[in-house]
Amino acid sequence: MLGQDVVAAADAAGADVVAMDRPEIDITDPALTADRVAGFDVVVNCAAWTAVDAAEDEEAAAFAVNAVGPQNLARAAAATGARLVHISTDYVFAGNGESPCAEDAPMAPRSAYGRTQAAGEWAVSANTQDYLIVRTAWLYGAGGPNFPKTMARLGAERDVLTVVDDQQGQPTWTVDLADLIVRLVAARAPSGTYHGTSSGAVTWNGFARAIMATLGKNVRVDPVSSAAFAAKAPRPAYSVLGHGALRTVGVEPIGAWDQRWAAAAKTVLAL
Protein backbone atom coordinates (compact mmCIF):
# COMPACT_ATOMS: atom_id res chain seq x y z
CA MET A 1 0.00 0.00 0.00
CA LEU A 2 2.69 2.52 0.99
CA GLY A 3 5.24 1.29 -1.55
CA GLN A 4 3.07 2.26 -4.53
CA ASP A 5 2.73 5.84 -3.30
CA VAL A 6 6.45 6.11 -2.51
CA VAL A 7 7.24 5.07 -6.08
CA ALA A 8 4.81 7.71 -7.42
CA ALA A 9 6.15 10.47 -5.12
CA ALA A 10 9.81 9.75 -5.91
CA ASP A 11 9.01 9.57 -9.60
CA ALA A 12 7.16 12.92 -9.45
CA ALA A 13 10.20 14.41 -7.69
CA GLY A 14 12.35 13.44 -10.68
CA ALA A 15 14.13 10.43 -9.18
CA ASP A 16 15.03 7.45 -11.33
CA VAL A 17 12.92 4.89 -9.45
CA VAL A 18 12.96 1.11 -9.56
CA ALA A 19 10.12 -0.65 -7.70
CA MET A 20 10.74 -4.18 -6.45
CA ASP A 21 8.36 -6.70 -4.93
CA ARG A 22 8.47 -10.44 -4.40
CA PRO A 23 9.67 -12.62 -6.07
CA GLU A 24 12.16 -10.11 -7.55
CA ILE A 25 13.41 -9.40 -4.04
CA ASP A 26 12.97 -11.30 -0.78
CA ILE A 27 14.50 -9.20 1.98
CA THR A 28 14.98 -12.28 4.16
CA ASP A 29 17.54 -13.54 1.62
CA PRO A 30 20.84 -11.71 2.26
CA ALA A 31 22.56 -12.59 -1.04
CA LEU A 32 19.56 -11.71 -3.20
CA THR A 33 19.03 -8.47 -1.22
CA ALA A 34 22.67 -7.42 -1.64
CA ASP A 35 22.43 -8.12 -5.36
CA ARG A 36 19.20 -6.11 -5.83
CA VAL A 37 20.31 -3.14 -3.73
CA ALA A 38 23.69 -2.68 -5.44
CA GLY A 39 24.03 0.53 -7.43
CA PHE A 40 21.27 2.64 -5.87
CA ASP A 41 21.70 5.93 -3.97
CA VAL A 42 18.64 5.51 -1.78
CA VAL A 43 16.74 2.38 -0.73
CA VAL A 44 13.27 2.73 0.80
CA ASN A 45 12.04 -0.34 2.67
CA CYS A 46 8.24 -0.48 2.69
CA ALA A 47 8.20 -4.29 3.04
CA ALA A 48 7.02 -5.81 6.29
CA TRP A 49 5.06 -8.58 7.96
CA THR A 50 2.00 -6.45 8.75
CA ALA A 51 -0.42 -9.13 10.05
CA VAL A 52 -0.39 -7.95 13.67
CA ASP A 53 -2.53 -10.73 15.19
CA ALA A 54 -0.95 -13.55 13.15
CA ALA A 55 2.47 -12.44 14.42
CA GLU A 56 1.48 -13.57 17.93
CA ASP A 57 1.52 -17.21 16.74
CA GLU A 58 4.19 -16.80 14.06
CA GLU A 59 6.71 -14.48 15.68
CA ALA A 60 9.74 -16.18 14.11
CA ALA A 61 8.33 -15.70 10.61
CA ALA A 62 7.42 -12.08 11.39
CA PHE A 63 10.91 -11.56 12.85
CA ALA A 64 12.49 -12.83 9.63
CA VAL A 65 10.74 -10.10 7.60
CA ASN A 66 10.65 -7.26 10.15
CA ALA A 67 14.09 -7.67 11.75
CA VAL A 68 16.35 -9.91 9.65
CA GLY A 69 15.04 -8.22 6.47
CA PRO A 70 16.06 -4.70 7.59
CA GLN A 71 19.38 -6.12 8.77
CA ASN A 72 20.01 -7.53 5.28
CA LEU A 73 18.96 -4.25 3.69
CA ALA A 74 21.12 -2.18 6.05
CA ARG A 75 24.20 -4.31 5.35
CA ALA A 76 23.53 -4.21 1.61
CA ALA A 77 22.94 -0.45 1.65
CA ALA A 78 26.12 0.15 3.66
CA ALA A 79 28.12 -2.00 1.24
CA THR A 80 26.89 -0.07 -1.81
CA GLY A 81 27.00 3.36 -0.14
CA ALA A 82 23.22 3.88 -0.28
CA ARG A 83 21.09 5.67 2.28
CA LEU A 84 18.45 3.35 3.80
CA VAL A 85 14.98 4.65 4.61
CA HIS A 86 13.23 2.11 6.83
CA ILE A 87 9.56 2.33 7.80
CA SER A 88 8.61 1.33 11.35
CA THR A 89 5.58 1.60 13.58
CA ASP A 90 3.95 3.13 16.66
CA TYR A 91 3.69 -0.45 18.03
CA VAL A 92 7.30 -0.21 19.24
CA PHE A 93 5.83 1.87 22.09
CA ALA A 94 3.63 0.66 24.94
CA GLY A 95 1.02 3.24 23.98
CA ASN A 96 0.03 4.02 27.55
CA GLY A 97 1.15 7.66 27.65
CA GLU A 98 -0.93 10.81 27.79
CA SER A 99 1.14 13.12 25.62
CA PRO A 100 2.68 12.58 22.17
CA CYS A 101 5.54 10.08 22.19
CA ALA A 102 8.93 11.61 21.39
CA GLU A 103 11.24 9.96 18.88
CA ASP A 104 13.73 9.05 21.63
CA ALA A 105 11.16 7.71 24.11
CA PRO A 106 12.07 4.19 25.28
CA MET A 107 10.68 1.41 23.13
CA ALA A 108 8.39 -0.95 25.07
CA PRO A 109 6.49 -3.11 22.57
CA ARG A 110 3.55 -5.07 23.93
CA SER A 111 2.97 -7.37 20.95
CA ALA A 112 5.01 -9.82 18.88
CA TYR A 113 4.65 -7.50 15.86
CA GLY A 114 5.96 -4.58 17.94
CA ARG A 115 8.92 -6.64 19.20
CA THR A 116 9.91 -7.65 15.66
CA GLN A 117 9.66 -4.03 14.48
CA ALA A 118 11.72 -2.79 17.44
CA ALA A 119 14.35 -5.39 16.53
CA GLY A 120 14.21 -4.12 12.93
CA GLU A 121 14.97 -0.58 14.05
CA TRP A 122 17.93 -1.81 16.07
CA ALA A 123 19.15 -3.93 13.14
CA VAL A 124 19.13 -0.86 10.87
CA SER A 125 20.99 1.44 13.25
CA ALA A 126 23.49 -1.32 14.15
CA ASN A 127 24.37 -2.13 10.55
CA THR A 128 24.56 1.20 8.74
CA GLN A 129 25.38 4.77 9.67
CA ASP A 130 23.38 6.27 6.82
CA TYR A 131 19.71 5.67 7.60
CA LEU A 132 16.35 7.25 8.27
CA ILE A 133 13.88 5.30 10.41
CA VAL A 134 10.39 6.69 9.86
CA ARG A 135 7.73 5.44 12.27
CA THR A 136 4.19 5.63 11.04
CA ALA A 137 0.74 4.49 12.22
CA TRP A 138 -2.92 4.10 11.21
CA LEU A 139 -2.06 4.13 7.48
CA TYR A 140 -4.69 4.29 4.77
CA GLY A 141 -4.25 4.55 1.03
CA ALA A 142 -5.74 3.68 -2.32
CA GLY A 143 -3.41 0.70 -2.80
CA GLY A 144 -4.49 -1.60 0.02
CA PRO A 145 -7.20 -2.71 2.40
CA ASN A 146 -7.65 -0.25 5.28
CA PHE A 147 -10.02 1.25 7.84
CA PRO A 148 -11.76 3.89 5.65
CA LYS A 149 -12.47 1.30 2.94
CA THR A 150 -13.90 -1.14 5.51
CA MET A 151 -16.04 1.59 7.10
CA ALA A 152 -17.33 2.71 3.69
CA ARG A 153 -18.37 -0.87 2.88
CA LEU A 154 -20.04 -1.40 6.28
CA GLY A 155 -21.70 2.02 6.12
CA ALA A 156 -23.36 1.03 2.84
CA GLU A 157 -24.75 -2.15 4.43
CA ARG A 158 -25.83 -1.01 7.93
CA ASP A 159 -27.56 1.86 9.75
CA VAL A 160 -25.53 1.42 12.94
CA LEU A 161 -21.83 0.71 13.31
CA THR A 162 -20.01 -0.13 16.53
CA VAL A 163 -16.45 1.19 16.64
CA VAL A 164 -13.94 1.35 19.49
CA ASP A 165 -13.55 4.68 21.23
CA ASP A 166 -10.71 3.85 23.63
CA GLN A 167 -7.80 3.92 21.18
CA GLN A 168 -6.40 7.21 19.97
CA GLY A 169 -4.13 7.71 17.01
CA GLN A 170 -3.26 9.69 13.90
CA PRO A 171 -4.88 8.44 10.67
CA THR A 172 -2.20 8.92 8.02
CA TRP A 173 -2.56 8.96 4.22
CA THR A 174 0.12 6.95 2.41
CA VAL A 175 0.44 9.80 -0.13
CA ASP A 176 1.38 12.19 2.70
CA LEU A 177 3.88 9.74 4.18
CA ALA A 178 5.42 9.13 0.75
CA ASP A 179 5.74 12.89 0.26
CA LEU A 180 7.37 13.23 3.69
CA ILE A 181 9.89 10.48 2.87
CA VAL A 182 10.83 12.25 -0.37
CA ARG A 183 11.18 15.56 1.50
CA LEU A 184 13.37 13.97 4.22
CA VAL A 185 15.67 12.48 1.60
CA ALA A 186 15.82 15.75 -0.36
CA ALA A 187 16.65 17.65 2.84
CA ARG A 188 19.53 15.23 3.54
CA ALA A 189 18.17 14.91 7.07
CA PRO A 190 20.68 13.53 9.57
CA SER A 191 20.57 9.79 10.23
CA GLY A 192 18.08 9.04 12.99
CA THR A 193 14.47 8.35 13.84
CA TYR A 194 11.54 10.49 12.67
CA HIS A 195 7.78 10.23 13.10
CA GLY A 196 5.71 10.14 9.91
CA THR A 197 2.12 10.53 11.04
CA SER A 198 -0.57 13.17 10.65
CA SER A 199 -0.88 15.80 13.35
CA GLY A 200 -3.64 15.89 15.98
CA ALA A 201 -5.36 12.77 17.27
CA VAL A 202 -8.70 10.97 17.08
CA THR A 203 -10.23 7.67 18.18
CA TRP A 204 -11.21 4.98 15.65
CA ASN A 205 -14.80 5.90 16.52
CA GLY A 206 -14.17 9.58 15.71
CA PHE A 207 -12.44 8.64 12.46
CA ALA A 208 -15.40 6.40 11.51
CA ARG A 209 -17.75 9.35 12.10
CA ALA A 210 -15.59 11.55 9.88
CA ILE A 211 -15.70 8.89 7.15
CA MET A 212 -19.51 8.67 7.36
CA ALA A 213 -19.72 12.48 7.19
CA THR A 214 -17.54 12.50 4.06
CA LEU A 215 -19.81 9.91 2.47
CA GLY A 216 -22.94 11.85 3.50
CA LYS A 217 -24.23 8.72 5.27
CA ASN A 218 -26.73 8.96 8.08
CA VAL A 219 -25.16 6.09 9.99
CA ARG A 220 -24.98 5.97 13.78
CA VAL A 221 -21.50 5.12 15.07
CA ASP A 222 -21.82 3.69 18.57
CA PRO A 223 -18.83 3.57 20.93
CA VAL A 224 -17.49 0.32 22.31
CA SER A 225 -14.38 -0.62 24.30
CA SER A 226 -11.50 -2.63 22.80
CA ALA A 227 -12.19 -5.35 25.35
CA ALA A 228 -15.32 -6.21 23.33
CA PHE A 229 -13.10 -7.35 20.45
CA ALA A 230 -10.94 -10.26 21.53
CA ALA A 231 -8.00 -9.36 19.28
CA LYS A 232 -4.99 -11.61 19.76
CA ALA A 233 -2.42 -8.80 19.93
CA PRO A 234 -2.93 -5.88 22.31
CA ARG A 235 -3.48 -2.50 20.61
CA PRO A 236 -1.82 0.64 22.00
CA ALA A 237 -4.44 2.84 23.69
CA TYR A 238 -2.57 6.06 22.99
CA SER A 239 -0.72 5.90 19.67
CA VAL A 240 0.03 9.57 19.25
CA LEU A 241 3.52 10.39 17.98
CA GLY A 242 5.31 13.72 18.38
CA HIS A 243 7.07 15.40 15.47
CA GLY A 244 9.88 17.26 17.23
CA ALA A 245 12.70 15.61 15.23
CA LEU A 246 11.18 16.74 11.92
CA ARG A 247 10.88 20.31 13.18
CA THR A 248 14.49 20.24 14.40
CA VAL A 249 15.76 19.40 10.90
CA GLY A 250 13.42 21.92 9.23
CA VAL A 251 11.09 19.39 7.60
CA GLU A 252 7.40 20.23 7.91
CA PRO A 253 5.34 17.42 9.54
CA ILE A 254 2.21 16.09 7.84
CA GLY A 255 -0.86 18.29 8.49
CA ALA A 256 -3.85 17.71 10.76
CA TRP A 257 -5.48 14.28 10.29
CA ASP A 258 -8.96 15.71 9.55
CA GLN A 259 -7.73 18.13 6.88
CA ARG A 260 -5.62 15.41 5.28
CA TRP A 261 -8.60 13.01 5.33
CA ALA A 262 -10.66 15.67 3.54
CA ALA A 263 -7.92 15.84 0.88
CA ALA A 264 -7.52 12.06 0.64
CA ALA A 265 -11.07 10.70 0.76
CA LYS A 266 -11.90 10.89 -2.97
CA THR A 267 -8.74 9.06 -4.00
CA VAL A 268 -8.79 6.49 -1.21
CA LEU A 269 -12.48 5.60 -1.55
CA ALA A 270 -12.48 6.04 -5.35
CA LEU A 271 -15.51 8.39 -5.11
Ligand X SMILES: NC(=O)c1ccc[n+]([C@@H]2O[C@H](COP(=O)([O-])OP(=O)(O)OC[C@H]3O[C@@H](n4cnc5c(N)ncnc54)[C@H](OP(=O)(O)O)[C@@H]3O)[C@@H](O)[C@H]2O)c1
Active-site amino acid positions: 113
Nearest residue (CB) to ligand X, 10 versus 87: 87
Which residues 6+ apart lie within 8 Å of 216 measured at CB? none
Nearest residue (CB) to ligand X, 69 versus 206: 69
Nearest residue (CB) to ligand X, 138 versus 205: 138
SS3 152: helix
From first CA to last CA, the distance across the chain in angstroms is 18
Cα gap 205→226, rounded to integer Å? 11
Write down the least CB distance from residue 269 to ligand X, Å: 17
Buried b (16+ CB within 10 A) or exposed e, 146-176: bbbbebbebbeeeeebbbbbbbbbbbbbbbb
Nearest residue (CB) to ligand X, 160 versus 270: 270
Binding residues vs ligand X (CB under 6 A): 1-2, 21-22, 25-28, 46-48, 50, 65, 69, 87, 89, 136-139, 144
Q: What are residue 161's DSSP bridge partners?
A: 221
Task: Report the amino acid identity of residue 30.
Answer: P
Write down the least CB distance from residue 270 to ligand X, Å: 17
Chain centroid to CA 160: 29
Whether 92 and 135 have beta carbons less than 8 Å apart is answered as: yes
